[in-house]
Each structure stands twice: as C-alpha cells, then as structure tokens.
Amino acid sequence: MSIVVRPFRRDTSDDAGAKALEARASQHTHNVILSTLVKVHLQHLDSFDSKARKYEGSVVLLAIDTEVKGDGASDDGFVCGCICVGIKDVRLDGKIRKLGYLFDMRVHEDYQRRTIGSQLYKSAESATRDLGAEAIYLSVNSTNKKARSF
C-alpha cells in the first residue's frame, strides 16, 4: 500500500473515484431510507467538489492508493479517502475571522486505522492555513461513532 494525498482534480477520473468512495462510505447506511435518499442525491451532483466550490475558498483532497487500480480508481490509483473544507468568514468572540469548515471526511473501511484520516486532516489543515484560515471547525453526527472517536 502506497498512499498519496493530493488535491482533487475536477473534470478527471477523480470525480468518479470520489463519488464511488462517497457511496461506499456513507455514514447513513444504518438507515435504509436515508441511505437510499443519499444515493439518489449523489447521482444528481454536478461534480464531487460542487459543494466546496460554493465557498469563497476551499480545499478538497484525496488519499490515493497508487498500487490499486480498477473500480473506484482515479487515473493514478484507488481513491481510499477524501476531505473537504470550505473557507468562510465567521463571527467568533465578537470578531470576524476566516475559518475552515470541515464538512466531509471519509476513509474507505478497508483503509481505516492506517493513519490515512490523520494524513488527510494534516494536509487539509496546512492548505487551509495557506488560504488564510486561522483554524478548522466541524460538527459530527452523534450516531457517527467512528468519527467521534477520531
């Protein structure tokens, strides 16, 4: 296993690979109705990074296993993880501050507990800092036990 973390490339095979990861690694699989709605919604997305592009700035990174090709692969390997952070101005302590909002982070189940999530987060933190963000914040669903323990 050789993992590379790099920026998402729009209009390439990255889109299909990232969407395949999103469909496989949905946090809503415990709820059949919600899972079905999420999958239907995914089929209608313009591009994997469409939500990120709505922010004034964003960071979308993929973790790629360069040794695996095939289903869920981009041109340079298997998409085994992703992280998406939108940059926005937020009022905090009475001041407007530029922060990163981490709204999506996934690691394929077969790749979990191998530091890929940490690699993605550290890379995203550095990239958002380069875009002027002071910090990153996020919210996690109470039912997402794996994310809450990360």
Binning pLDDT at 50, 70 and 90, where does residue 22 land? confident
Task: State the Cα–Cα distance between residues 26 and 39, nearest whole angstrom.
Answer: 9
Query: In 3D, which of 148, 12, 122, 146 has the Cα closest to residue 59?
Result: 122
Q: pLDDT tens across 24-76, in order? A: 876 555 555 555 555 544 443 588 999 999 999 999 999 999 998 766 667 78
Average pLDDT over the chain, rounded to whole?
85
User: Which residue is associated with the tokens 């919210």?
Assistant: 139
pLDDT mean over 75-89: 94
pTM comes to: 0.83
pLDDT at res. 139: 81
For residue 120, the tally of other CB atoms under 10 A from its CB is: 24
